[in-house]
Chains A and B, each alone.
Chain A
Amino acid sequence: MPLVKHGKVTTDTFVHVADDAEIPGDGAILISAARFLEDAEGLSGRVGRTGVIWPNNRDVDDLVRYLDRLAVVALVFPTFRDGRAYSQARLLRERHGFKGELRATGQVLRDQFVFMLRAGFDAFEVKKDSDAEAFATTVKHYSVFYQPTGDGRITALHRRMQLRHSESAGQ
């Protein structure tokens, strides 16, 4: 499954470690939430970078105190119809200030890219190669946004207000 980061297909430097496999001391790993929470203190203090795959039916509050020690939080879209991880992503980014990689996993299709970017995702395990390759063009599709989110894009409401102010300043 291709990984898209910084707008292009890239090699995944994180190794998925199964729940019954041994965790290496160094090297970048992605492990399940259950595995992580068994020894959160120890794992978040390991030498290598650590990422957690967080299920979409578990409150992200349980993860908050480890966030500054995590390199990756991977959120899950079991099907693209299940949108719980959009809320989790915004909470992690906007409320809890998570600065690491926020990765979308599961059934990730090109038609969700813009929503995901706006919710704070910056890495995407894309299901189809053709979608991954289309990433850069797909995300340029929209230039107008109605809602404020943490991604910093200016909303239509604010652009209108700016326009009003510049008009009245010119009078």
Chain B
Amino acid sequence: MYAYDELDRTLINERVSEFRDQVKRRLSGELTEDEFKMLRLQNGVYLQLHAYMFRVAIPYGTLSSEQLRRLAHVARRYDRGYGHFTTRQNIQFNWIKLAELPDALADLAEVGIHAMQTSGNNTRNVTSDQWAGVAPGEIEDPRIWSELLRQYTTLHPEFSFLPRKFKFAITASEHDRAAIKVHDIGLRLHRNAAGETGFEVLVGGGLGRTPFIGKTIKPFVHGHDLLSYVESILRVYNQYGRRDNIYKARIKILVHELGIEKFAQEVEEEWLQMRDSALAIDDSVIEDLRSRFSYPAYEKLPHMPDELKKAAHDPHFEAWRKNSVFPHKVPGYAIVTLSLKPVGGPPGDATADQMDAIADLADKYSFGEIRVGHEQNLALPHVARRDLPVLWKALDKIGVATPNVNLVSDIIACPGLDYCSLANARSIPIAQELTRRFANHETANLIGRLHINISGCINACGHHHVGHIGILGVEKNGEEFYQITIGGRADEKAEVGTLIGPAVPYAEVADVIEDIVEAYLALRARPDELFIDTVKRLGVEPFRERVYATR
């Protein structure tokens, strides 16, 4: 965990009081809605279909139990008793009153949580691997660098009014859990031949109306140069990114229009003029940041304790353990994913009571730490393996032990037309219906790893382009239709999915997905050939045939 110091605390308190003044000026009419809009967006406040929506940042997906309890408090005190975890390590509250927002922010600030730049045309919450610091084989903890970037991007005087939103993601593992290739800047931490820490920098990835996979702009930027290099990218983008059309304003379009070579050259020229500026980071700065992260005092524990051997006789426990428990870098410990995808539930939602209970369990079994992943699930990152059986019972009791992690019912979905003013179609009821269709655990296990992503409009908050199966809601003559893509993925082999055919009406979506899955089961070469690999091998055609033969 990163511990805020007096400076961090002062800054977020100053931000809260500034926002309190902005709200006051809006309520008194001194600010017009147009003027206020940008100011509230800078602080994560959207006006949605029914109410204001409030998006709170969970930088690089790390929460303390105290922070999670405070999120529960906000859900209870200012909202309707629940929150929604998003695909970018944020939590959203859907029923906030504008006049109460400054108080909610002040409550959050007390535990070092903020909503700065969770929307608006600025640098958004810096996201990272939810297993950072605990994943086996990780090069080093990427959260040190994420925190460096969090501070650097917070209230940046030059880049708070960019052409469009701007998202960073960082990974330090071979397997990319942070989806860095679909971010404006993706950073892959690695070491050069001299053993120095640096980053492969990718630029111009993003989804939305025009999806692009990020391109490598520089294979190795030394850690010392990270901020100056990032500032060069942002400066080129701030000056030359398009501002005439919001659909062409993301950096991906600038990179595409200039070409990566030309864009890289512009950045390089800018960078050479400032790499030795005050932005150069020396090791002592990194060490100072590192020293403010605390790590658990792990015990020496057995890999296969008696408790675990005993529990192995319970098939329900075993089903959960095989699905939701992952290897930890320290022997005797495990990473436990908490599924926020119960059968029939809206993906990513948690009630205030669940949040409180999870915070208590984190205190008891995970050194007080909780993680949030882009798949809209939570994780307890440091669980002693001997505690798994008792933890499972507790998690099951509060409804977060559905053994469907990475399976077909572990669906990523945006809020869709049930909440969002941008949406063309509903997302949540589609997800709910699919979880019911695939509720049988044996069937889901037989199908194996399969990611379904649902977006209620072209803005792609549900990342449908990079779902193994992507579902995109569109509107046709006042009715909800859905385009289906297959073959997308968001990891280190990121790819944009391919459309399988004409859009289908709302009522047929679940049938179509079942057809696709059945086709896969019939077509796969071996039981362990994953859906995504079968699509890669055979292409879209056999799936298209199956789906449209009878439609």
Contacts and interface: CB of A to CB of B under 8 A. Distances in A.
Interface string A134-158: 0000000111111111000001110
Given A141-B14, A141-B18, A156-B151, A109 B7 contact: no
Nearest to A90: B158
Nearest to A88: B239
A159 B7 contact: yes
Contacts of A147: 152, 156-157
B151 A111 contact: no
A18 to B, nearest CB: 26
Given A87-B238, A114-B157, A156-B8, A109 B35 contact: yes
A66 interface: no
B28 to A, nearest CB: 11
Q: Which of A87, A88, A118 has the most CB of B within 10 A?
A: A87
B273 interface: yes
Given A148-B277, A156-B151, A83 B7 contact: no
Contacts of B523: none
Contacts of A65: none
A161 interface: yes
B174 to A, nearest CB: 30
Interface string A76-89: 00001111101110
B272 interface: no
A119 interface: yes
A115 B18 contact: no
Given A83-B160, A161-B285, A142 B11 contact: yes
Interface in B1-57: 5, 7-8, 10-11, 14, 17-18, 22, 30, 35, 38-39
Contacts of B158: 83, 86-87, 90, 115, 119, 149
Interface string B151-167: 11011111111100000
A148 B279 CA distance: 7
Interface residues of A, number: 34
A129 to B, nearest CB: 11
B260 to A, nearest CB: 22
Given A83-B161, A146-B156, A164-B288, 6 more contacts: A84-B239, A115-B157, A144-B11, A146-B151, A156-B8, A157-B285
Interface residues of B, number: 37
A82 B157 contact: no
B485 interface: no
A130 interface: yes
B209 interface: no
A119 B157 contact: yes
Contacts of A6: none
Nearest to B157: A118
Nearest to A130: B30
B288 A146 contact: no
Given A87-B239, A164-B288, A115 B160 contact: yes
B449 interface: no
Quick one: which of B11, B161, B274, B277 has the most chain A CB within 10 A?
B161
Nearest to B277: A148
Nearest to A118: B157
B245 interface: no
Interface in B269-286: 273-274, 277-279, 284-285
